[in-house]
Amino acid sequence: MRPRKELYQRNFAAANVLLQIAMKFATVRNVSSPSRPIRLAAEDKLAALRRIDKSRSWNCLDERLYCTICKHEISGRQIEVVGGTNGLRALHLKCSTAGCLSTPDDWILPVKLDTVREIDILFRDNGG
Ligand SMILES: [Zn+2]
Is 40 found in the same domain as 79?
yes
Domain that holds residue 10: 1-31
| Per-residue model confidence (pLDDT) at position 11 | 73
Is 123 found in the same domain as 90?
yes
For residues 4 and 57, give the distance between their C-alpha atoms in angstroms, rounded to a whole number.
73
| Per-residue model confidence (pLDDT) at position 39 | 87
| Per-residue model confidence (pLDDT) at position 91 | 85
- Over the range 75-90, which residues count as b (16 or more CB within 10 Å of their CB) and which as e? ebebbbbebeeeeeee
pLDDT digits (tens, 9 = 90+) for 71-120: 999 999 999 998 766 655 678 899 999 999 999 999 998 876 666 677 77
pTM: 0.58
Kindly give the distance from the C-alpha atom of residue 68 to the centroid of ligand 1, in angstroms, as a whole number.
7
Is 42 found in the same domain as 10?
no
Kindly give the distance from the C-alpha atom of residue 113 to the centroid of ligand 1, in angstroms, as a whole number.
20
Is 16 found in the same domain as 64?
no
Total number of domains in the chain: 2
Is 63 found in the same domain as 10?
no
Is 43 found in the same domain as 25?
no
Kindly give the distance from the C-alpha atom of residue 103 to the centroid of ligand 1, in angstroms, as a whole number.
8
Q: How far is CA 7 from CA 3, 10, 11, 20, 71, in A?
A: 7, 5, 6, 20, 62
